Amino acid sequence: MAVERDLAPLLLQSARSAPAITLTGPRQSGKTTLCRAVFPDHPYASLEAPDVRSFAVDDPRRFLAQFPDGAIIDEIQRAPDLPSYLQGLIDADPTPGRWILTGSQHFSLAESVNQSLAGRTAVHHLLPLSRGEATRFAHCPEDLDETLITGGHPRILDRGLDPPKWIGSYISAYIERDVRTLRNVGDLAAFGRFVQLCAGRTAQLANLSALAGDCGASQPTAKAWLRILEASFVVFLLPPLHSNLRKRLVKMPKLHFYDTGVVCHLLGIRTPDELHSHPLRGSIFETWVVSEIAKQRVHRGETRGLSHYRDRSGTEVDLVVEDSERLTLIEAKAGATPSPSFLATARRVAAQFEGQHVGELTAVYGGDHIQERSEGRLVPWANLHRADVAAPHS
């Protein structure tokens, strides 16, 4: 079943002006389903199929000649020279919205697109489901711990699949198939241990030397592996806030996963009860909140403006949303009982921003009731997509 994705209006808008659209994102995030739903009249070709891929690689001109009015070409990074041939077709006929290209490996796709289709294609990213999108499925979980374990891959919610079983196969396929085609990976077993270590450090500072030491790899190797996880949309690095504050701020990014279901599986968490008592539940919830807001913004076309605050004394705010007019400080608190302490740190940090307008302080928490307080508001996790804390203000 195809449900409406928040990115759909942006794709349609781009199709009215750009000759090509390039859609990237992790495997199984719904790219194919979205493109075929938004552009139902376009012919479709997937380069995952060996015979189709061979045709596109061996005879790209004849392959593209099949589609005089354009097409959806899936997993185009599997034929890396194809964008070069598309360039000539687009230059000869720059009619908007003819070519829809998708890919799951961001760096290899970005290389070919930047070299061949720069200025000719609009690039968008489709991430796993946000909470608002997930609620459009009949099998959307309503419990917080179940939500964290389930994650946001559409196939799980569409078919009512068992999340741990499906995610286990997904992780195995990613490491065993996709990573073999990527550079900078020699020892797959060591890379698998590295991914697990990253899961154990979600919502923590991305200390490469510590990660390298824990998995027995060199720091350059750990850095290369982390880039692969970023390029495959498995993890993202939340940058530190850049500010002229007198406080000395930590300059290290924080590590987050786009999907908490993947984090839970890598940590051996299989049931909501196991998660509820797990020592990393707070970190997993923080990653869920940060990734939720990141997904909302990316699906609106906003790819910047998120950071974290941490000073040398250890005072930190989980997420800072920056726009042209104000800063929004957001804390993630997994507890179900609302407390004024949820906003205490954000309130202290807000006082540091002299001359900068700080908007309403927000704590996203694991309970059920919205509370408007003089110092800010407490937003239940299930209402985060309605609270619109991710919306840019101009």
The CATH number covering residue 74 comes to 3.40.50.300
Both 311 and 349 in one domain: the answer is yes
Q: Reply yes or no on whether the pLDDT at 199 is more than 70.
A: yes
Q: Yes or no: say if 376 and 360 are a contact pair by the CB < 8 Å rule.
A: yes
d(CA 191, CA 71): 36
pLDDT band at 116 (very low <50, low <70, confident <90, very high): confident
pLDDT band at 43 (very low <50, low <70, confident <90, very high): very high
Residues 274 and 368 in one domain: no
Verify that 263 and 194 share a domain, yes or no: yes
325: pLDDT strictly greater than 80: no
The DSSP string of 83-101 is HHHHHHHHHH---TT-EEE
**Which residues form the domain of 105?**
8-125
In a domain, 2, yes or no: no
Same domain, yes or no: 252 and 356: no
190 and 258 within one domain: yes
**Mean pLDDT in residue range 348-362:** 83
Q: How far apart are CA 92 and CA 49, in angstroms?
A: 29
20 SS3 class: strand
For residues 255 and 201, the answer to whether their CB atoms sit within 8 Å is yes
Of residues 16 and 391, more confidence is placed in 16
In terms of Cβ atoms closer than 10 Å to its own Cβ (0-12, 13-18, 19+), residue 197 is: middle
Residue 285 falls inside a structural domain? no
Q: What is the pLDDT of residue 91?
A: 95
Q: In terms of domains, do 276 and 320 share one?
A: no
Look up tokens 């406080």; give the residue: 247
pLDDT digits (tens, 9 = 90+) for 247-280: 788 899 999 999 999 999 999 999 999 999 999 9
Amino acid code (one letter) for 259: D
User: Which 3 state secondary structure label does DSSP give 256?
Assistant: strand
How large is the average pLDDT for residues 320-343?
A: 91
Phi-psi region of 183 (alpha: psi -120 to 50; beta: other; left: phi over 0): beta
Compute the Cα dihedral for 91, 96, 98, 100 and give only its sign. positive
Quote the pLDDT of residue 318.
98
DSSP code string of 106-135: HHHHHHHHHHH-TTTEEEEE-PSPPHHHHT
Give the pLDDT of residue 110: 66
The interaxial angle of helices 82-92 and 106-116, nearest 10 deg, is 40
Residue 224 has pLDDT above 60, yes or no: yes
pLDDT class for 104, splitting at 50, 70, 90? confident
Query: What does the pLDDT read at residue 351?
Result: 86
**pLDDT band at residue 107 using 50, 70 and 90 as cut-offs:** low
280: alpha, beta or left? (left if phi > 0; alpha if psi -120 to 50): alpha
Residue 87, pLDDT score:
94
Say yes or no: 163 and 200 in one domain: yes
The two tokens of residue 265 are 């599986």
- The top-scoring range by mean pLDDT among 1-10, 111-120, 261-270 is 261-270
Q: What is the CATH number of the domain that holds 157?
A: 1.10.10.10
Residue 296 maps to a domain: no
Domain boundary among 77, 101, 125: 125
Q: What SS3 class is residue 252?
A: coil
Residues 211, 250, single domain; the answer is yes
Domain annotation covers residue 394: no
- In terms of Cα–Cα distance, which of 338, 344, 343, 346 is closest to 321? 346
Which residues pair with residue 249 across a beta bridge? 311
Examine residue 287 and state whether it is found in any structural domain, yes or no: no
Last residue of a domain, one of 96, 125, 154: 125
Q: How many domains does the chain have?
A: 3
Q: Which of 125, 156, 184 is the last residue of a domain?
A: 125
Task: Give mean pLDDT, residues 296-304.
Answer: 92
Higher model confidence: residue 65 or residue 246?
A: 65
Cα dist from 363 to 202, 289, 367, whole Å: 19, 10, 11
Closest Cα to residue 136, out of 149, 124, 152, 123? 152
Answer yes or no: is 295 within a domain.
Answer: no
In this prediction, residue 372 has a pLDDT band, given cuts at 50, 70 and 90, of confident
Is 294 among the domain residues? no
Could you tell me which of 41, 81, 39, 40 has the C-alpha nearest to residue 64?
Answer: 81
> How confident is the model at residue 173, as a pLDDT?
86
- Is the confidence at residue 393, as pLDDT, over 60? no
Q: How confident is the model at residue 118 (pLDDT cuts 50, 70, 90)?
A: confident
Instruction: Give the domain CATH number at 378.
Output: 3.40.1350
Confidence of residue 128 (pLDDT cuts 50, 70, 90): very high
In this structure, are 247 and 152 located in the same domain? yes
Q: Which of 119, 129, 124 is nearest to 300 (CA)?
A: 124
Q: Which two tokens stand for residue 175?
A: 């490491």
| Residue 167 sits in the same domain as residue 103 | no
Q: Report the pLDDT value the prediction gives residue 394, as an integer from 0 to 100.
A: 44
Q: What is the mean pLDDT of residues 215-230?
A: 90
Residue 248 inside a domain? The answer is yes
Q: Are residues 92 and 138 located together in one domain of the fold?
A: no
